[in-house]
A = this chain, B = another copy of it.
Amino acid sequence: MNRPYPSALLESAVNEFAKLPGIGRKTALRLVLHLLREDNASVESFANAILTLKNEVRYCSCCHNISDSEICNLCADPNRNSSIVCVVENIKDVMAIENTVQFKGQYHVLGGIISPIDGIGPSDVEIASLIERVETKEVKEVILALSATMEGDTTNFYIFRKLEPFNIKVSIIARGVSVGNEIEYTDEVTLGRSILNRTPFEESYKLNQK
């Protein structure tokens, strides 16, 4: 049983925090009480950072990543190869791939993946703009870097079909045993795929030297 909070203001703040994903009511209360102990300036800067982001955020007109300007830093960078476009689900994937320092092309952020069960169809994600980008700009290769789930596979296949008429290279990031993982603990599907998609040893060895 849970008794009412001693203050309606407190309860409303806790309710708001508890709406966030992965935040339960106990955690929400802990966070709200933490903010209550902070000085006014800190709490205002917390609230303002969120409001400013929400009100002023823009999305790059080219890759649809979050950006402060019309064209994001990655798309505007002349050192990046604009003829290779890596298709990802969201901005976290861009950051993850950027962290590898292995990719020097540009991105295309779908903002979601096709998931009929969640009511997300092809028109709800940025696929049309990807096709347009391939149509109007000099794109030589599209790399599909979506999650290895059923929804990711569906989306990959849909995009592949849409890109077929353009006669460009469409590749997909390798699926196989994760670096550092042991063979015996790798799931069967991944292991099977990694055998079918085996790579010439020289190639793999050269990659390891980099």
Q: Contact residues of A with B, CB < 8 Å?
A: 1-3, 5-10, 12-13, 15-17, 19-23, 27, 29-36, 40, 42-57, 60, 65-68, 72-74, 90-92, 94-95, 98-99, 101, 188
Contacts and interface: CB of A to CB of B under 8 A. Distances in A.
Contacts of A19: 42, 46
B44 A51 contact: yes
B46 A34 contact: no
Contacts of A16: 45-46, 49-50
B9 A68 contact: yes
Contacts of A90: 33
A54 B30 contact: no
Given A43-B54, A46-B50, A54-B36, A22 B30 contact: yes
A47 B48 CA distance: 8
A54 B68 contact: no
B57 A35 contact: no
A173 to B, nearest CB: 18
